[in-house]
C-alpha cells in the first residue's frame, strides 16, 4: 500500500472514530445546537415581535449565534484525547500531525457545525428573514462554519494543556472570528436588500481556503507544545 493510501485510510479511520464517539456522547454534541436555537429565540422575546425589526436584525442574530455556538464546543476538540492519552499516541503515529488535526476538525464540524447549517434557515425564517436571502445564509454557513472550526482548532490546541484553558479560549478566538462574522452577516444582509452577496461569499471562501492551508499546521504545532 502506498504512503498516500495509508494516510488516507488513517484519516478516514480517525474521522469515523470521532464521529462514533460524538454519537455516543450525542447529548454533549447537541448543546451547541440548543444554544444556537436559544440565542435566536431570545431576541423576539427581548425586542418584540415586529416583523420589520426582526427581519433587519436576523442576519446578525443568526451569525452571532452560529459563532458563539461553535465557540461553545471548541474546548472539547482535543481535551478528551489528551486526558486519556490518545492524543500522545496519535501524535506518535505515522499520520502527519496536520492531517490528524484536519481529520478531527472534519469530524467536529460534521457533528456540531453541520447541524448549525441545517438549523440556520429555520431560525432565519422564524426571524422573518426574506426567502431571497436564504441561499446566501446557507451558502455563508457552509463556507463560514468550517472556517470557524479550523481557526478554533488552533486556539483549542494552544490551550488544551491548561487547567482553565476553556476560559481563555474565547479571548483568543473571538477577535479571529470577527471577519467570518462580518462577511457572513454581510452576505445575508446584502441578499435581503436585493443586492448581490457574491462578494461576501467569495471573501468567506478565501478565508476558508486560508484556514484549510494554515490552521492544521498551526494547531499541530500547538499540540506538540501542549503535549510536551
**DSSP string spanning 25-56?**
THHHHHHHHHHHHHHHHHHHHHH---HHHHHH
Q: pTM, whole model, 2 decimals?
A: 0.90
Distances (CA, A) of 200 to 121, 177, 192: 18, 15, 13
Residue 4's pLDDT is 55
Residue 6's pLDDT is 62
Q: Which residues span the domain enclosing 106?
A: 3-227
| Count: domains in the chain | 1
* Terminal C-alpha separation, the chain: 32
Give the integer Cα–Cα distance in Å for 177 and 160: 19
Residue 1's pLDDT is 46
Q: pLDDT tens digits for 61-78?
A: 999 999 999 988 888 888
DSSP secondary structure letter of residue 131: G
Residue 91's pLDDT is 83
Give the integer Cα–Cα distance in Å for 79 and 64: 25
Give the integer Cα–Cα distance in Å for 98 and 2: 19
CA torsion sign, 45 to 48 to 51 to 57? Answer: negative
Helical residues (DSSP H) of the chain, grouped into ranges? 3-24, 26-47, 51-74, 76-83, 86-92, 97-108, 114-126, 134-159, 165-192, 198-227
Instruction: Write phi, then psi, for 84 (nearest 5 degrees).
Output: -95, 5
Confidence of residue 227 (pLDDT cuts 50, 70, 90): confident
Give the integer Cα–Cα distance in Å for 171 and 136: 29
Grid cell 452577516 is found at 185
**Mean pLDDT for the stretch of residues 193-206:** 94
Output the CA angle 194-199-201, nearest 5 degrees. 95
- Helix or strand (DSSP H, E) at 210: helix 198-227
Assess contact for 107 and 188: CB atoms under 8 A: no
The residue that leads in pLDDT, 36 or 4, is: 36
pLDDT of 41 above 50: yes
Residue 87's pLDDT is 84
Residue 31's pLDDT is 86
Q: pLDDT tens digits for 85-116?
A: 788 888 887 788 898 899 999 999 999 999 99
Amino acid at each position: 500500500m502506498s504512503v498516500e493510501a495509508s494516510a488516507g485510510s488513517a484519516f478516514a479511520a480517525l474521522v469515523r472514530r470521532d464521529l462514533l464517539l460524538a454519537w455516543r456522547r450525542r447529548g454533549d454534541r447537541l448543546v451547541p445546537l440548543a444554544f444556537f436555537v436559544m440565542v435566536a429565540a431570545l431576541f423576539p422575546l427581548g425586542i418584540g415581535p415586529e416583523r420589520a425589526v426582526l427581519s433587519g436584525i436576523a442576519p446578525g442574530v443568526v451569525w452571532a449565534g452560529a459563532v458563539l455556538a461553535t465557540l461553545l464546543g471548541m474546548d472539547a476538540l482535543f481535551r478528551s484525547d489528551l486526558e486519556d492519552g490518545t492524543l500522545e499516541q496519535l501524535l506518535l503515529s505515522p499520520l502527519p500531525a496536520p492531517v490528524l488535526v484536519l481529520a478531527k476538525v472534519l469530524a467536529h464540524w460534521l457533528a456540531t457545525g453541520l447541524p448549525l447549517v441545517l438549523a440556520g434557515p429555520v431560525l432565519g425564517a422564524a426571524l422573518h428573514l426574506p426567502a431571497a436571502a436564504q441561499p446566501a445564509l446557507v451558502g455563508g454557513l457552509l463556507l463560514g462554519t468550517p472556517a470557524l472550526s479550523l481557526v478554533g482548532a488552533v486556539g483549542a490546541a494552544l490551550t488544551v494543556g491548561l487547567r482553565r484553558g476553556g476560559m481563555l479560549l474565547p479571548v483568543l478566538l473571538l477577535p479571529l472570528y470577527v471577519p467570518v462574522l462580518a462577511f457572513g452577516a454581510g452576505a445575508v444582509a446584502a441578499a435581503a436588500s436585493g443586492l448581490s452577496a457574491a462578494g461576501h461569499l467569495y471573501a468567506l471562501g478565501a478565508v476558508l481556503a486560508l484556514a484549510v492551508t494554515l490552521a492544521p499546521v498551526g494547531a499541530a504545532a500547538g499540540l506538540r507544545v501542549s503535549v510536551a
